[in-house]
A and B are shown apart, each in its own frame.
Chain A
């Protein structure tokens, strides 16, 4: 995936009593890319973030970063918050009101690491805000300053607690762009807390699905999204699939770009802005993948894997097919599906309407 060397792996094996349920998990988050903690409000996501950052202490177990224990209840180890070098972007920007933006950004800068001040200021578009007071910033600007401030403290891991909450559509899209750029350009593992599927799909590589303090599912985002047994819990994702493919034809003028899967099948997609040969991530909406009528010319051949009745409408079925070794979901008319009545492993013809491509990290 990433060309960068892997950062420290986060090893979570801990428990903590939270109100009327226990947060209890044993998971390992990869040392690169963005891991999302996804679940409904009150599932323990933010509490877990506080355990990782050291703002709270678990009742039992340990948290290790790159093999080094940050807390180990049995081994009596405790690394104080300010020695962990874990950056946190809280739900609210939490800018210090008595420092200008520049002062906020510099607050956590360390003298023993080379300064990346200019780079990060440019990356987050903060150049024109440096002399402003936090009270005069818009929500999106304040959020960007908070992210920059955390990054400039040279963290080994960045925790983001719903960084897009409370922002309107265009600000949200803008901040997603900034975060995508960050994830791509900095070799810094990130943990993203979110209950917003859009945020997760746009940013995450790895997904940890939490419910009432327990991990219900975890794994690479495309794999978890392709699991029909999680249909009820991943409702908000609307059956989206993420697949990887390689650019074979760049978008030019009025023509869409084309990408090819590893088995050679190709299709047109939106947003192909990378040169030929680049790996990109394709996002398919379940409703935009249709069963092709027999003999349709542009159909993709995929292997039928599983189906469940759709929760949306009794007239629909959710199906999963295997396309070039990756999982693709579709929501198709029950009637058409039952007419074909494919056995598991049978080949189906599918038409995908304009999937969205985005850069692979």
Chain B
């Protein structure tokens, strides 16, 4: 049903998007918690920085990644020497580009859901002898699960659809960084490939719908459990 090329594109896109989201999941939750529950100097600045990729042109983000994580940049050099990791023009780089672009959406959704957790429950857990970490892991996090799921799916969709930052930072290399949007773009650019482009377009819609449906089902289940209507 699907061609070799289409399977390859789907596989690569999912790999890059899942890797990108996994990269930011833990830092995203940590930052969202800091923004939701703590006051510290420079909070407004951090908040602004996190949201920057949302308002900057993606090409600018890609360019910034290129100059900060390229082989010549100190950070890029350090990554290469320590882990042998080259980011520009690799699928790992495409994952980083997707991750950076998805980060604000993830943090936003998680911050909202963490803020919605009643601090009174956390206080109650503390008086019952739970330290901060245990309180977070047993009370805050489980109660924020619906929002976490929504945020994760949003971030996944954003990473999957990433175009501008990816093409700037990781380029459009077949089998390495040519994700679904890039493949679609390439097909549109080549004359006579309209039907192949249309097929990819349908595939993109199907993947997006599937992730939305799955997240909605998971979130509903989680909410039902939280409200104690389970069984």
A316 at the B interface (CB under 8 A): no
Would you call A81 and B126 a contact (CB within 8 A)?
Answer: yes
Q: What residues of A have a CB within 8 angstroms of the CB of B129 in the complex? A: 82-83, 85, 108, 110, 153
What is the distance, in angstroms, from A111's C-beta to the closest C-beta of chain B?
A: 11
> Complex: how many Å from CA A80 to CA B131?
9
Would you call A81 and B227 a contact (CB within 8 A)?
Answer: no
Q: What residues of A have a CB within 8 angstroms of the CB of B131 in the complex? A: 80, 82
A217 at the B interface (CB under 8 A): no
Residue of chain A at shortest CB distance from B120: A94
A96-B139, A97-B227, A133-B229 given as contacts; is B121 within 8 A of A88 (CB)?
Answer: no
A143 at the B interface (CB under 8 A): no
Would you call A135 and B130 a contact (CB within 8 A)?
Answer: no
> Complex: how many Å from CA A84 to CA B142?
25
B228 at the A interface (CB under 8 A): yes
A55-B126, A88-B127, A153-B128 given as contacts; is B121 within 8 A of A135 (CB)?
Answer: no
Residue from B126, B128, B228 in contact with A133 in the complex, judged by beta carbons closer than 8 Å: B228
What is the distance, in angstroms, from A216's C-beta to the closest C-beta of chain B?
A: 28
> Complex: how many Å from CA A92 to CA B123?
12
B73 at the A interface (CB under 8 A): no
A107 at the B interface (CB under 8 A): yes
A interface size (C-beta, 8 A)? 27
Residue of chain A at shortest CB distance from B135: A82
> Complex: how many Å from CA A153 to CA B124?
11
Q: Could you tell me which residues of chain B, from 182 to 231, have a CB within 8 Å of some CB in chain A?
A: 225-230
Most buried by A among B124, B127, B138: B127
Residue from A81, A96, A133, A134 in contact with B127 in the complex, judged by beta carbons closer than 8 Å: A81
Residue of chain B at shortest CB distance from A81: B126
Q: What residues of B have a CB within 8 angstroms of the CB of A128 in the complex? A: none
Q: What residues of B have a CB within 8 angstroms of the CB of A90 in the complex? A: 120, 123-124
Would you call B130 and A108 a contact (CB within 8 A)?
Answer: yes
Residue from B130, B142, B228 in contact with A134 in the complex, judged by beta carbons closer than 8 Å: B228
Residue of chain A at shortest CB distance from B130: A82
The contact string, 1 if C-beta is below 8 Å from chain B, for chain A 105-131, is 001101000000000000000000000
A94-B121, A97-B143, A98-B143 given as contacts; is B126 within 8 A of A136 (CB)?
Answer: no
Residue from B128, B130, B139 in contact with A150 in the complex, judged by beta carbons closer than 8 Å: B128
B14 at the A interface (CB under 8 A): no
Would you call A87 and B230 a contact (CB within 8 A)?
Answer: no
> Complex: how many Å from CA A57 to CA B138?
25
A303 at the B interface (CB under 8 A): no
> Complex: how many Å from CA A85 to CA B128?
7
A53 at the B interface (CB under 8 A): yes
Q: What residues of A have a CB within 8 angstroms of the CB of B135 in the complex? A: 82
Would you call B225 and A98 a contact (CB within 8 A)?
Answer: yes
What is the distance, in angstroms, from B39's C-beta to the closest C-beta of chain A?
A: 15
A86 at the B interface (CB under 8 A): yes
Residue from A55, A83, A84, A85 in contact with B123 in the complex, judged by beta carbons closer than 8 Å: A55
Q: What residues of A have a CB within 8 angstroms of the CB of B120 in the complex? A: 90, 92, 94
The contact string, 1 if C-beta is below 8 Å from chain B, for chain A 325-358, is 0000000000000000000000000000000000
The contact string, 1 if C-beta is below 8 Å from chain A, for chain B 107-130, is 000000000001011011111111
A281 at the B interface (CB under 8 A): no
> Complex: how many Å from CA A55 to CA B135?
14
A149 at the B interface (CB under 8 A): yes
Q: What residues of B have a CB within 8 angstroms of the CB of A96 in the complex? A: 121, 124-125, 139
Would you call A107 and B143 a contact (CB within 8 A)?
Answer: no
Would you call B124 and A94 a contact (CB within 8 A)?
Answer: yes
Q: Could you tell me which residues of chain B, from 117 to 167, have a CB within 8 Å of some CB in chain A?
A: 118, 120-121, 123-131, 135, 138-139, 142-143
Residue ranges of B at the interface with A (Cβ–Cβ < 8 Å): 118, 120-121, 123-131, 135, 138-139, 142-143, 225-230
Show 19 residue pairs from A and B whose CB-CB distance is below 8 angstroms, ordered by the A residue: A55-B127, A82-B128, A82-B131, A83-B129, A84-B127, A88-B127, A90-B124, A94-B123, A94-B124, A97-B226, A97-B228, A107-B125, A133-B227, A134-B228, A135-B229, A136-B228, A150-B127, A153-B127, A153-B128
